Amino acid sequence: MIYDVSHLTKVFGRGRHQVRAVDDVSFELEEGQITTIVGESGSGKSTVARMLLGLLPITSGTLTFRGKDVTHLRDRAEYWRQVQAVFQDPFSSFNQFFTVGKLLNRSMKLVGKEAGQQRLEESLGHVGMDLEVLDRYPHQLSGGQRQRVMIARALMMRPALLIADEATSMLDASLRVNILNVLTDLRDSLGMTVLFITHDIGQACYLADRVLVMEHGKMVEQGPTDEVIFSPRHAYTKRLLADVPKLHSALELEQP
Amino acid sequence: MGTLVDARNIRGVYYTGAKDVVAVDDVSIRVEEGEVLGLAGESGSGKTTLGSIISLIARPPLHVEQGTLEIDGKVQELGGDARIPRTWRGSVVSMLPQGAMNSISPTKRVRHLVWDVMRSHDRRISKEVALDRARERITALGLPVRVLDAYPHQLSGGMKQRVVTIISTLLNPRLLVADEPTSALDVSSQKILIEMLLEMLDQKFMSGVIFVTHDLPVLRTVATKIAVMYQGRVVESGPTQLMVDRPQHPYTKALMSSVLTPEPKYSKIRIEGMSGFDRTSFDAPAVIHS
Ligand SMILES: Nc1ncnc2c1ncn2[C@@H]1O[C@H](COP(=O)(O)OP(=O)(O)OP(=O)(O)O)[C@@H](O)[C@H]1O
Ligand SMILES: Nc1ncnc2c1ncn2[C@@H]1O[C@H](COP(=O)(O)OP(=O)(O)OP(=O)(O)O)[C@@H](O)[C@H]1O
Ligand SMILES: [Mg+2]
Ligand SMILES: [Mg+2]
């Protein structure tokens, strides 16, 4: 086990305007596994991610990373080297005045000069981009291109834990599969642990070793992918799965 | 019913100083009255650019070098320094921008944004009327009414996305260009949003929608026709069922075969996606089904 989340709670606001965004949530992340969180919009998925990253004060609960209590960690430099994030919104998480090259340069420095350049090329390759993108400014990129730069930046660090919040929502189906394949490859070759937040059950099914389901701030179901997706127990999970649109009515496409 | 929008031979280029980027390369699309046209395609293929040109909000560095737009029989030249009537924007064509989360002003409460949009269109409208319309649609989308009083950062990704949908349809535009309106939504909320859009078409609040998305299963449920873009061109377009079940163009085939749905086999097999195809085959001529 690499991460232990115990009784995590987040309450926003107070009095009448109080929102219990995350309500007594507990789960573990197994090292070298891909865990996904699915659940309805507003159920608290991003709030969980932000607390794990130390970007949001915790109302109550404890976080343990590699046996160490990180709930109220002060100096996070080393932690963030091991725990990387790709955020839900690729439009706001960029400094608009930096070229992509400059943006990635920082991660490159952390990795070290020689290895850095190689990692840079490798990571851009992982997300289907070439070096030409380095001279561009974020506003010169399409939504999916920005999202891919974010993923490349996180992968460059070869984190022990990658937290990806709707990280592939703006990618076309073929590119998306490629990136999911990269994540499984890195899990297998480097033992990378991934917490992958998505509303897309299809992606969760393809990618995940374990699935966690959230509803209204609570974790209502968790377990191995096959169990949660193909024999769900909680009423909410069942409802969520029933609503998933299918691409094909009857006809199946043959694989090339 | 007739044709609502006929966009012809559109070419959009970003003048970047260094190398020009031809983002939309001679694209023609048509939306019939009451129809939803789904626009899918590779990331970076020009969907957002095309949407902004059709919504008449293209600004430098994007230049429309060529193209015409016909709405309700009125023809508008788009190329060069053609003048576009102010009244067309927002109320004739409205664009629901991609990355909704960032497009709403962070310092204003939602109720303030609603009021701004309504007032910009109709100076005499009362605050109550404006907010009533917003409240009605907020409820219809399954959102709590408290979002009216919230600042954008207090909303989750999917909540913001629905708020932007509400704001961009407040004026009941003839054509709505919705750029990834459901990318941050869970399936149940997606369904509600789509039902609202279809309902608005049914009620004739709007007359047509261009729905840009990477989510092909969603398109199957909502679109009448689908157009697929690759590198600035439409490589294939036609009726939804045909596009999904019997795609002809190599790129469309690659795209459709990469869609992941929750079926037992997908948790076992590996799908090769883009890397399983020969990219040069995607340069094949376009296939346009009528
Ligand atoms: N800064 C904040 N202040 C007040 N409420 C907040 C704040 N951030 C989030 N919330 C509320 O917390 C709840 C959970 O939000 P969160 O962003 O975690 O949801 P989510 O599961 O990521 O949803 P989505 O799938 O739509 O992104 C929502 O009701 C939201 O309005
Ligand atoms: N301001 C700009 N300057 C230069 N190039 C740009 C600019 N904006 C977009 N581009 C380029 O134009 C092309 C088309 O971009 P567009 O945003 O239309 O793609 P898209 O199909 O919407 O992609 P996505 O699905 O990723 O959102 C891309 O290659 C992009 O890098
Ligand atoms: Mg979220
Ligand atoms: Mg786009």
Written as one string, the DSSP assignment of B229-264 is: EETTEEEEEEEHHHHHHS--SHHHHHHHTT---S-G
Nearest to B273 by CA among B28, B18, B43: B43
Residue A209 lies in a domain: yes
A150: containing domain: 3-221
Residue A101 lies in a domain: yes
pLDDT at position B103, please?
A: 64
* Torsion sign, CA atoms B88, B91, B93, B95: positive
pLDDT at position A155, please?
A: 95
Cβ pair B271:A177 closer than 8 A: yes
Q: Rounded to an integer, what distance in angstroms lies between the CA atom of residue B6 and that of residue B29?
A: 6
Query: Is ligand 1 within 6 A of the CB of residue A56?
Result: no
Joined together, the tokens standing for residue B147 give 């979002």
Nearest to A68 by CA among A189, A160, A192: A160
Which among B154, B187, B245 has CB closest to A199?
A: B187
Q: How many C-beta atoms lie closer than 10 Å to residue A2's C-beta? A: 19
Give the chain B residue nearest A185 (alpha carbons). B270
Beta partners for residue B226, in sequence order: B38, B238
Q: How do strand A34-39 and strand A193-197 relate by DSSP bridges?
A: parallel
B59-B60-B61 Cα angle (round to 5): 130
- Under DSSP, is residue A7 helix (H, G, I), strand (E, B) or coil? strand
Chain A CB contacts of B45 below 8 Å: 172
- Give the H/E segment covering residue B176: strand B175-179
Quick check: B168 and B95 in contact, CB under 8 A? yes
A78-A79-A85 Cα angle (round to 5): 120
Low-confidence spans in chain A with pLDDT less than 70: 90-94, 249-256
Which among B18, B99, B244 has CB closest to A248?
A: B244
| CATH 3.90.1150.10 matches B3-104+174-288 | no
Quick check: A90 and A144 in contact, CB under 8 A? no
Which among A177, A243, A247 has CB closest to B261?
A: A247
pLDDT at position A189, please?
A: 95
Nearest to A195 by CA among A164, A166, A170, A225: A164
Q: Rounded to an integer, what distance in angstroms lies between the CA atom of residue B178 and that of residue B165?
A: 8
Q: Rounded to an integer, what distance in angstroms lies between the CA atom of residue B79 and that of residue B65?
A: 5
Q: What is the dihedral of CA A123, A125, A129, A130, to 10 degrees?
A: 100
Residue A252 lies in a domain: no
pLDDT at position A256, please?
A: 36
What lines the ligand 2 site, CB under 6 Å? A 139-145, 170; B 14, 16, 21, 23, 41, 43-49, 61, 98
Strand positions, DSSP E, chain A: 3-12, 19-29, 34-39, 60-65, 68-69, 83-86, 161-165, 193-197, 210-215, 218-224
Label residue A42 exposed, middle or buried (CB < 10 Å: 0-12, 13-18, 19+): buried
Nearest to A212 by CA among A15, A12, A20, A52: A52
Written as one string, the DSSP assignment of B28-81 is: EEEEETTEEEEEEE-TTSSHHHHHHHHTT---TTEEEEEEEEEETTEEEE-STT
Residue A248 lies in a domain: no
Domain residue ranges in chain B: 3-104+174-288
Whose CA is closest to atom 4 on ligand 1?
B154
Residue A157 lies in a domain: yes
Q: Rounded to an integer, what distance in angstroms lies between the CA atom of residue B19 and that of residue B7?
A: 27
Q: Rounded to an integer, what distance in angstroms lies between the CA atom of residue B66 and that of residue B34?
A: 27
pLDDT in tens, chain B (290 residues): 689 999 999 999 999 888 899 999 999 999 999 999 999 999 999 999 999 999 988 889 999 999 999 998 889 999 887 777 777 766 688 888 776 556 667 788 999 988 888 887 777 888 898 899 999 989 888 889 999 999 988 888 788 888 888 888 888 889 999 998 888 788 888 888 898 889 889 888 899 999 999 999 999 999 999 999 999 999 999 999 999 999 999 999 999 999 998 888 888 889 988 888 888 999 999 999 98
Q: Rounded to an integer, what distance in angstroms lies between the CA atom of residue A16 and that of residue B12?
A: 50
Report how far ligand 2's centroid is from the alpha carbon of A105 (Å).
23
- The shortest C-alpha distance from A92 to chain B (Å) reads 6
Contacts (Cβ under 8 Å, ≥6 apart) of B109: B148, B149, B150, B151
Indicate left, alpha or beta for B9 from its phi (over 0: left) and psi (-120 to 50: alpha).
left
Q: Is B12 on the interface with A (CB under 8 A)?
A: no
CATH code of the domain in which A59 resides: 3.40.50.300
Q: Rounded to an integer, what distance in angstroms lies between the CA atom of residue A183 and that of residue A135?
A: 26
Q: Which residues of A103-118 are buried (b: 16+ CB within 10 A; e: fewer)?
A: bbeebbeebeeeebee
Residue A201 lies in a domain: yes
Residue A244 lies in a domain: no
Residue A232 lies in a domain: no
Backbone torsions φ then ψ of A23, nearest 5 degrees = -125, 95
pLDDT tens string A93-133 = 667 788 999 989 888 888 888 888 999 999 999 999 999 99
Chain A CB contacts of B101 below 8 Å: 88-89, 91-92
Report how far ligand 3's centroid is from the alpha carbon of B181 (Å).
15
- Domains of chain A: total: 1
